[in-house]
């Protein structure tokens, strides 16, 4: 499935079966779309997978769809996305599931690229654990791929979409889109005869392990069918032939899981999980918390449905107090500073007074001297003839 603009879909906002409100679209694929929704009765967020309307009139599909949903709902395992309800509303069969706040393994690979062995083991452990519970219950997933592995913001890893491929495959409507969409992970027997068992899920996990370690799938081609048929005549190469640093134990894990002969693979997910645990112990791989992708479609849909922040409350209004005349407060004044730059203000005052007196003294002295000079000059000028 691929993320889309939730507001472009006309189903957003409807209520299914009078209980499940459909909010924003998370992703869409060839046969269904996944929405973020709300269980109005229990007031809890849910994921709602709505099937294409072309399946509404297919009795065989609806029968298988209900049967598979009930079987998966009985699974109680932390590595499996819980199924809460299923039904049909008008022209849309739907499935109500646990909403995993986070993103898909595909989105994580796009953000971060290939994983080191300890991170890959942290992803594969819960996947194989969930598949083991399903295999013990007689269920086969049939569509193992990174898009169907969900990672929560808390680091939980879960498998989604159990049983849907079988329901679609048994329908009268062609399932070509389903096969083409998962061609990179199909086992040889699924390509040749359409049969699938626990070994088919093991093959899909082996291909996914190769991709986790190398960042790509082992087979490529111009068309999806070309990719699908390549595994009929070609073995999956060891991951270490593509990227350095892969321990030989992981090479052996991938090669056995993807053997073209189902009889030479691990019998089921439980046996492969035991082998993975032994490799982790042998290599001393550290525990690792798988991070959720940051730029995920689920996070985008959550942001679209988040309520706007409440407006800031206005500041509290202060009541005006009425004073009587004799209650009026005395005006407050700041006392003048007594010092400036470490010098008493009084020193500035007396220095200013002394400067004024000195200026006056010099003014009088200059005026007196000027008068004496003028008088002397006048006297000499008057008696100049007598002196001559």
List residues with catalytic annotation: 143
Q: Residue written as tokens 């010092």?
A: 339
Q: Which contacts qualify for 35-42: CB closer than 8 Å, 24 or more apart? A: 35/6, 35/11, 35/301, 36/6, 36/99, 36/298, 36/301, 36/302, 36/305, 37/96, 37/99, 39/84, 39/96, 40/15
How far, in Å, are 19, 49, 300, 301 from residue 304 at the CA level?
Answer: 21, 18, 6, 5
Structural contact between residues 178 and 126, judged by C-beta atoms closer than 8 angstroms = no
Structural contact between residues 129 and 121, judged by C-beta atoms closer than 8 angstroms = no
Rounded to 5 degrees, φ, ψ at 27 are -155, 160
DSSP 8-state secondary structure symbol assigned to residue 231:
T
Structural contact between residues 275 and 247, judged by C-beta atoms closer than 8 angstroms = no
From CA 98, how far away is CA 95, in angstroms rounded?
Answer: 10
Strands 157-159 and 149-152: antiparallel
Structure tokens at 126: 């819960």
DSSP string computed for 267-302: SSHHHHHHHHHHHHHHHTPPP--PPPPSS-HHHHHH
């Amino acid at each position: 499935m691929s993320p889309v603009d939730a507001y472009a879909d006309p189903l957003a906002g409807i209520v299914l079966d009078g209980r499940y409100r459909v909010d924003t679209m998370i992703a869409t694929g060839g046969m269904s779309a996944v929405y973020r929704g709300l269980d109005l009765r229990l007031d809890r967020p849910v994921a709602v997978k709505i099937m294409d309307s072309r399946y509404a009139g297919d009795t065989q599909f609806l029968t298988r769809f209900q049967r598979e949903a009930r079987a998966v709902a009985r699974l109680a395992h932390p590595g499996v996305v819980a199924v809460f309800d299923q039904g049909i509303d008008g022209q849309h069969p739907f499935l109500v599931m646990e909403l995993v706040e986070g993103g898909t393994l595909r989105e994580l690979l796009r953000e971060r690229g290939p994983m080191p062995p300890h991170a890959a083991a942290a992803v594969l452990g819960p996947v194989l654990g969930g598949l083991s519970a399903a295999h013990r219950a007689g269920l086969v997933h049939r569509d193992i791929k990174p898009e169907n592995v969900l990672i929560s913001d808390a680091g939980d890893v879960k498998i989604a979409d159990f049983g849907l491929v079988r329901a679609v495959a048994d329908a009268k409507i062609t399932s070509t889109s389903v096969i083409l969409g998962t061609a990179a992970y199909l086992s040889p027997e699924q390509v040749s005869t359409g049969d699938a068992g626990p070994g088919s899920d093991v093959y899909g996990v082996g291909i996914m392990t190769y991709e986790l370690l190398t960042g790509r799938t082992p087979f490529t081609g111009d068309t999806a069918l070309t990719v699908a048929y390549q595994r009929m005549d070609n073995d999956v190469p060891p991951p270490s032939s593509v990227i350095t640093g892969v321990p030989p134990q992981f090479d052996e894990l991938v090669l056995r899981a993807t053997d073209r002969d189902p009889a030479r693979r691990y019998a089921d997910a439980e046996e492969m999980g035991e082998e993975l645990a032994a490799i982790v112990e042998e290599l001393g791989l550290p525990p690792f918390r798988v991070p959720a992708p940051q730029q995920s479609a689920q996070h985008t849909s959550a942001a679209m449905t988040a309520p706007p922040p409440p407006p800031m409350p206005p500041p509290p209004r202060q009541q005006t107090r009425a004073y009587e005349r004799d209650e009026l407060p005395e005006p407050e004044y700041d006392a003048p500073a007594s010092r400036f730059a470490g010098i008493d203000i009084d020193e500035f005052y007396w220095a200013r007074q002394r400067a004024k007196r000195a200026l006056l003294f010099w003014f009088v002295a200059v005026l007196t001297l000027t008068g004496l000079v003028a008088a002397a000059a006048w006297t000499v000028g008057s008696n100049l003839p007598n002196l001559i």
